Each structure stands twice: as structure tokens, then as C-alpha cells.
Structure 1
Amino acid sequence: MLPSLFITLSVFSIALLEAKHLPSYIVPCKKSDPNLNTCAKQHAIDATARILHGDRSYKIPSFTPFSIPLIDVKGTTGITFQLKDLKLYGLNTTQIKDVNFDLPNNHMYVKVFIPQTQTISQYLMDGKLLSLVIKGEGPAEIISDNVTVEYFIDYVLINKPDGKRYVDVDALKTNLTLNFSKTHYNFGNLFGGNKLLGDNFNNLLNENPKEVDEISGGTNKVIISSIVSSIFNPIFKAVPFDDIFID
């Protein structure tokens, strides 16, 4: 399960912003630059570490760790799965691998890699998973290795009363692919605290990762969407598009 990250995906786009009060660590690229994507990638790499610590002027939270109060996912098998007080660690190791802007078609693409992410939270699980009736509530740890996230964004520009164009955050269309080499689950206090049954179920999860894709995939999408919103929305709402991508 990976939070990913996108984590950084989102983070990187800030490196292309240009505004009156733009922080000095963010350097814009020009639309006319024939090597726009190369420029964007390098500037994103340069700014990522600083941005991950948050920026109050843009209402961007800290990502070291990244916190989410509640994630609620319901599977088609009827299982209820919640993660509360979630903290995601590892985003500080994010590596930007590829950046592509198709400005004429209002499209962005970013690819990032994270060596390892760790999610610490409280969980609630009730229902049927892996053909077993499961019920538990307690601490959870989820570790994912070699996480790769590819993020695709299509945007719409709108004119605001100030006469400038902005990205319409309510019309953003996003898609992502998420891959990782291995995920380790550890849910405590399963089956009323029965350690033997709990250990056996955790082992079953870790030996059959594809069987829990429905829940873990849904959870990952919620985490990534939260990260994207935390970065893009405040910036797109406040900064004109033609200041983000300068002439």
C-alpha cells in the first residue's frame, strides 16, 4: 500500500510557479523554452526538499510526515476499513524521474520514485477479507518498497474578475498508476487481541498482496488525492496560470 506519493508529484509542480511573492527557492521555466520539460524537472528537483517541509504562505502543509485524520474505504465484499490519525513517512526521499508538460493540450505528467514509505495509523476493520470474517481495531503499520507513481493531470483554464486566467481546480481530471515491489502489513489487536490468529492473518496478507489490492488501492488513491489537493489547489486558486508558466 503506498501513499505515495504522489506525494512529490504534486510537490514538483510548485517549482514552476512565478508570482509576486514567489519564494526564492522556486524558479520558473519559460513556455517558449525548447527544453521546457528538462528545465521543469531540474527546478522541481531543486525545490522538492524545501517544499516538502511546507510553506505557510501557500497553505501547504508539511510532508515530513504527511498527516491525514481519516480514510474510509468500503470494499465490494462489504468490508469496512478505516485508517485514523494516519502519518505517512518517507516522502522526504522522493525522487522526480520524469516531467512532461503539454501546454497546448492542457496536460501534465509527472513520474516519481520513493524507495520506501511507512504508514502509521489506527485502523478499524470489519467484514470479510481473503474468505475470512475479520474484525479488529488498533494500531496499523504498512510499509511499501520501491514505490513508483505516474500522475496524469488534465486541466481547464477560466477567466476571473481580475482579467487573468486560472486553473479551475473544480474541473481537474486526474489519473494515476501506482507500482511497488513489496508491501508489508501489520495490524494489531485483530480477533479480539488473539495474537496467534492475528499473526496468522497478517502473514496471510503479506503472502497474498494481490488479494488486498481492492482495499489498499482505494486507500492509496485517497492519500494521493489528499496530497495533490494540499499542494495544487491553494496555488492554482491564488496564482494566475500565465504567472505559473511564464512567457
Structure 2
Amino acid sequence: MRSSLNIFIFTFTGFVLTYGKMIPEYFPLCNRYDKNLNDCLLTATETIKPYLSKGIPELKIPSFEPFIIPEINLEQGTSALNFKATLINTEIYGLTDYTFTRFDFDVSNLQFFCDCNINCLTLKGNYTVSGKIFVAPILGSGTFTASVENCNASVYQKVKIEKLRNDKDFIVPTLTNSSINVSGPKANLQGLFNGNKQLSEITNKIINDNINELFQDLKPVLEKIMTEIIEDMLLKAIEGQVPFDELYPPLP
């Protein structure tokens, strides 16, 4: 499942985009041994907001408004949820309406700790689904919309430094863990049961009447996918492009 809960890719874009030869001049510079490094990183997350909405072509970072995920594959087999679904061309709106409350880089132990709040997220795209929700069948394909009123995300990442090209050191993620909590989730699926209006309305009501419980069942899967996406973005944006000394230069 390549989840829209990818509300978290941008969590580490803050440090992905932190400064060097190939990094645009509009980013502030954070020295890794500065006693105010973490304050600098928090400031940087605000500075890059307007640029993230359009994308950062220099680092091959796509537009975040909307952020588009070509395919998300979902499969769940709990007592509440037993289904398979595919989401196609999911568009996510609102990722840049964020506030970081923590962005810490533990330089000596090569660890990152981030906490972030996103005000409102809206998702839309196409889907196919088959299975059961609370023993009620769910089957169909069509378009979907979903939203959350608020999302809180935390990310931990352990990295290592490796010499990769031109005898330069690069950051390489070795472990990433993510956790998310949302409030006010809603969802609507159009096209269920070959467009049968009555069955579609009943199923959407079951989903939304029980959506908090359903989200808790899906949460571990969503966090796993979010972690994979964060690592993919980091590897693409950092390992192949910006050496460590340019991302986080030492003090002069």
C-alpha cells in the first residue's frame, strides 16, 4: 500500500533539502555543529513551504500541491477489515499546510527526530475494491474522496555515512519508523456494486460510522507504507545528489 498517508514524505524533505552545491540558493544554511542546529532546521521547514508546493526540480522533488501517488495497493485481513484494494493516481492536497514542532538532528549518533502537524488533508482518485467490512460485502470500482481534519506525524530515522562517489561522504538511511494519528477522517466511494445507489449508500454509511475503528486497523499498514515512501524519497534526493558536508556543513 503506497499510502496517501504519505502525509509524511515531506517530513524529511526538510532535511533532504538542506543545503549544498546542488541545493537552491533560497534555502538557509544549517551547520551540523551549531548549538542552534535544531532551531535552524525548524526555521528551514517554514522557509521551504512555498517552494515545496511547486516542486524542487534541482533535486527532482515533485510538486506537493497536489502530491500524486500513481498506485497504492491495500490488503487487510482483520476481524473488522478483510479486503483488497488498489488506489490509482491518488491526489493529495494540503501537505504543505504543515507545522513542525520538532526537527532534531543528533549528529553524534546520526539520528533524526521529527514531529509535525498537518491541518487538513484531502485525497481523491480512482479505486477498485473487493472484500468485507464488518461482515458486510464491499465490491466495486470508481472514484473516491477522503479527508482528515488534522494529522499528527512523528518520524525517527537512523542513518549512516558512506563514501559513494568521488570519494565523498553521503547520508544513507538504515532505519526509519513513522507513526501517525488523525482526527475527523471521512471517506466516500462512488461506483460500488456497479453503481447500485442503495447498496453504495449503505456501504459508505458503514464505513463512516466506523471510520475511527477502521483507521486503527489500517494504521500499522499505513505507517509501513509511509516509512517506505520516506526512505525512497530520501535515497533519491540525498544519496544520489548531495554529499553530507554540503547538506550539513561543519562550522568554519
> TM-score scaled to structure 2, two decimals?
0.88
Q: How far, CA to CA, are the matches of 2:144 and 2:179 in structure 1?
A: 24
Answer whether contact 1:107 1:155 (CA < 8 A) is retained. Answer: yes
Q: Which residue of 2 aligns with 1:11?
A: 13
- How big is the shift at 1:52? 3.2
Secondary structure, counterpart of 1:108 in structure 2: strand
Q: Which residue of 2 aligns with 1:198?
A: 200
- How big is the shift at 1:192? 2.3
Unaligned runs of 5+ in 2: none
Q: How far, CA to CA, are the matches of 1:67 and 1:220 in structure 2?
A: 18
Residues 93-104 of structure 1 correspond to what in structure 2 (within 5 A)? 93-104=97-108
**CA 121–5 in structure 1, closer or farther in 2 if over 3 Å, else same:** same
Secondary structure, counterpart of 1:104 in structure 2: coil
Cα deviation, 1:151-189, whole Å, max 9, x if unaligned, reads 1111121112422211225xx311111011110010111
Q: How far, CA to CA, are the matches of 1:180 and 1:29 in structure 2?
A: 31
Letter in 1 for 2:125: S
Residues 6-45 of structure 1 correspond to what in structure 2 (within 5 A)? 6-17=8-19, 19-45=20-46
Q: Which residue of 1 aligns with 2:245?
A: 242
Q: Which residue of 2 aligns with 1:188?
A: 190
Cα deviation, 1:104-129, whole Å, max 9, x if unaligned, reads 11110111111110110111110122
Equivalences, count: 244
Answer whether contact 1:127 1:134 (CA < 8 A) is retained. Answer: yes
Higher mean alpha-carbon deviation, 147-156 vs 196-205, is at 196-205
Q: Which residue of 2 aligns with 1:88?
A: 92
> TM-score scaled to structure 1, two decimals?
0.90
Cα deviation, 1:43-99, whole Å, max 9, x if unaligned, reads 221122213321112111111101111111111255211101111111131222211
Higher mean alpha-carbon deviation, 160-169 vs 177-186, is at 160-169
- How big is the shift at 1:39? 1.1
**CA 48–224 in structure 1, closer or farther in 2 if over 3 Å, else same:** farther
- How big is the shift at 1:137? 0.6
Unaligned runs of 5+ in 1: none
- How big is the shift at 1:228? 5.3
- How big is the shift at 1:11? 2.3
Q: Which residue of 1 aligns with 2:141?
A: 137
**CA 191–205 in structure 1, closer or farther in 2 if over 3 Å, else same:** same
Select the structure that is richer in strand.
2
- How big is the shift at 1:229? 2.6
Select the structure that is richer in helix.
1
**2:159 pairs with one of 155, 159, 166:** 155
Q: Which residue of 2 aligns with 1:70?
A: 71
Q: How far, CA to CA, are the matches of 1:140 and 1:216 in structure 2?
A: 19
**CA 2–22 in structure 1, closer or farther in 2 if over 3 Å, else same:** closer
Q: How far, CA to CA, are the matches of 1:52 and 1:235 in structure 2?
A: 20
Secondary structure, counterpart of 1:238 in structure 2: coil
**CA 121–189 in structure 1, closer or farther in 2 if over 3 Å, else same:** same
Secondary structure, counterpart of 1:16 in structure 2: coil
**2:109 pairs with one of 105, 111, 121:** 105
- How big is the shift at 1:203? 1.5
- How big is the shift at 1:217? 5.1
Letter in 1 for 2:70: P
Letter in 1 for 2:139: K
Letter in 2 for 1:101: F
Letter in 1 for 2:187: Y
Higher mean alpha-carbon deviation, 91-100 vs 119-128, is at 91-100
Answer whether contact 1:189 1:198 (CA < 8 A) is retained. Answer: yes
Letter in 1 for 2:152: T
Answer whether contact 1:15 1:40 (CA < 8 A) is retained. Answer: no
Answer whether contact 1:2 1:220 (CA < 8 A) is retained. Answer: no
